[in-house]
Copies of this chain bind each other. A is one copy, B any other.
Amino acid sequence: MMSYRAPLDDMAFLARSLPDADAIQMITDQAAKMAEQSWLATNASADAEGCHWHDGKVSLPADMRQAFRHYADGGWMGLTMPERWGGQQQSEVLGGFVGEMLTSSNHALSMLPALTMSACRAIIHHASDSLKDEYLPPIIAGRWSATMCMTEAHCGSDLGLVRCKAIPEGQSYRLSGQKIFISYGQHDASDNIIHLVLARLPDAPEGIKGLSLFLVPAQLSDGHDNNVHCIGIEEKMGIHASPTCTLSFENATGFLVGEAHAGIKAMFTMMNEMRLGTGLQGVGLSEHSYQASLSYAQQRLQMRSLSGIKNPDGIADAIIEHPDVRRMLLTQKAFADGGRALACYCAQLLDASKHQDDDDTIKLLELLTPIAKGFCTEVGLESASNAVQIFGGHGYIKDNGVEQLYRDGRIATLYEGTTGIQALDLLGRKVLGNQGASLRLFTKQIHLLCKQNAEHPRLAELVKRLQPYAKEWPDISMKIGMKALQNHDEAGAASVDFLMYSGYVVLGYFHLKMALEADELQHTSVASNEAHTFTSDFLQNKVRLADFYLRRLLPRSTAHKQAMLEGVDSLAPAW
């Protein structure tokens, strides 16, 4: 079995100045035990067993069901949910840390609470009080789960094509149609499943503005079955323990959530939360890939170091002595640690947005969400691929577990909006859509950080690496924006390179910031009220990781810059 240890020190480092640092430390400790033990224990066996579909009923591997009950019965589903419906109302920062551990230890299982909590968010924001009071408490108590039902066979990215129908009948509606790719659309680990379904009312306009959102329980409150049938589950590359269901709604009773024809807005509440959660899957994938690789690289003896024997008593040196193996490990760790800092910052923005209606907070969160989702999942795939590579041929074998990381992780750049969709959202809506106003909020932070530390006694060289991006990033955006005014396809032609460029810069900012903070903690007396003490090695490693990142990974931004500036005429069909 693979081992995994929750990166509690790294989390504590990020949380150390937050008001709830103590609570975070205490609760992440408990979550770590659950992730490292019951969730991890079932990861490989559940992958091998997969889900079972029989006559419309789906059963999960038995120990997966148990691991989920352990989580749900422990009250974890309510961690960040409002107290009013039974939640503990902890911060999103804490929720994010716990979410990362769960996805690291068991991607397939972590989708069940993640989807359920996102659905709660949509209900909280958009449903009527009576729906909230009826449906939120059992979900938050962990007895029921929830899904989001958007995709149909002919529409994935393009929800404007949804055909599912809702006919009014008294206070409720009758839903009919088929939805595909519904994760945990049917399973046997909860007493009831609450579906949030995008459908069209009879008088709905065409396209995306004609969608309404409905709450459709699998079982009605009178105990009757609501005619939501799982007519099959998919065979997939990975996440075998997460049932991907085709659901058929056959005159099922549903309740309108929010206004008629305003379903897409409600769905986006859920979607944005899910996108941040999917970004965390990328982070968790990088972290687990790193840990598995590190321990293998320290143990596996193969060849002598080019710079002289390092392990004279062994038959060979550990492969970690080979610089290229270290390059792969540092890449994984830099993506995990930088991605976690980005995710934590997004969570802080989300927490802040609950308490104050500050436009800048929302703008920053909106800007960073597609980056967290798109970039962290893409580089998560690289981390998982590096794990396979570090294990060599042994990485391709089932027993060693890293091939599962590679297969499971591959879903993350596809669902909740592909990387291409994230990229269009980022460049089109979040950057060009407000003439770079949101972007400037972030590049101003880069500028300030670099300006304040331009003469840093130890890290000025690193500061110099990041500093040009404060100007270059908005400059590039403007260039593309000007071209896109002439031809909208210019945005599409630049978008994914723009997303990746943005991700490299954003992680560069967080790595530099962490290095500066670590350096400060190392070189000044630590304030006594800090909840956690960090070893000198730990702090030194943050600096080394930033050094690696800014010197060896940030330069990738250059290639993306050059590519995106070539414009749409470089993409002429050649077939």
Nearest B-chain residue to A316, judged by Cβ: B158
Stretch at the interface among A51-59, A96-104, A414-422, A522-530: A414-422
Interface set, chain A 379-434, CB cutoff 8 A to B: 381, 385, 388-389, 392-399, 403, 406-407, 410-411, 413-415, 418-420, 423-424
Question: Among the listed B181, B237, B316, B326, which residue makes an inter-chain contact with A161, where contact means beta carbons less than 8 Å apart?
Answer: B316
CA distance A325 to B570 in the complex (A): 13
Nearest-Cβ distance from residue A427 to partner chain B, whole angstroms: 10
Contacts of A556 in B (CB 8 A): 559, 563
Which 3 pairs across A and B sit closest by C-beta, in order of nearness?
A: A555-B562, A306-B488, A323-B492
Q: A302-B156, A489-B305 are in contact. Are A396 and B411 (CB under 8 A)?
A: yes
Q: When the two chains form their complex, are residues A302 and B541 in contact, meaning their CB atoms are under 8 A apart?
A: no
Taking each of A323, A419, A557, which has the highest tally of chain B beta carbons within 10 Å of its own beta carbon?
Answer: A323
- Residues on the B chain within 8 Å of A558, using CB: 555, 558-559, 562
Known contacts A393-B415, A544-B572; A489/B555 CB under 8 A: no
Q: Which residue of B lies closest to A303 (CB)?
A: B158
Q: Does A155 contact B (CB under 8 A)?
A: yes
A248 at the interface (CB under 8 A from B): no
Interfacial residues of chain A within 233-271, with CB under 8 A of chain B in the complex: 234-238
Q: Which of these, B325, B385, B397, B414, contacts A395 with CB under 8 Å?
A: B414
The count of identical subunits is 2
Interface size on A, as a range, is 35 or more
A486 to chain B, nearest CB (A): 10
Question: B157 contacts A575, CB within 8 Å?
Answer: no
Residues of B within 8 A of A410 (CB): 385, 388, 396, 403, 406
A-B contact pairs, 26 of them (CB 8 A): A154-B301, A237-B388, A237-B396, A237-B407, A238-B396, A306-B491, A307-B488, A322-B420, A324-B420, A324-B495, A330-B571, A389-B419, A389-B420, A392-B414, A393-B414, A396-B411, A406-B410, A541-B575, A544-B573, A544-B574, A548-B570, A551-B563, A551-B570, A552-B563, A558-B559, A558-B562
A288 surroundings in chain B (CB, below 8 A): none
Question: Which residues in chain A, 532-575, are within 8 Å of chain B measured between CB atoms?
Answer: 541-542, 544-545, 547-548, 551-553, 555-559, 562-563, 566, 568, 570-575
A477 within 8 A of B: no
With contacts A307-B489, A315-B161, A575-B541 taken as known, whether A403 is within 8 angstroms of B236 at the C-beta atoms is: yes
Nearest chain B residue, comparing its CB with the CB of A486: B307
Cα(A423)–Cα(B413), bound, Å: 29
**A493 close to B327 (CB less than 8 A):** yes
Closest Cβ–Cβ distance, residue A302 to chain B (whole Å)? 4
**Are the CB atoms of A493 and B302 closer together than 8 Å?**
no
Residues of B within 8 A of A495 (CB): 323-324
CB < 8 Å neighbour of A157 from B154, B302, B551: B302
Q: Does chain B have a CB within 8 A of A496? A: yes
Do B237 and A330 touch (CB < 8 A)? no
Contact in complex: A552, B572 (CB < 8 Å): no
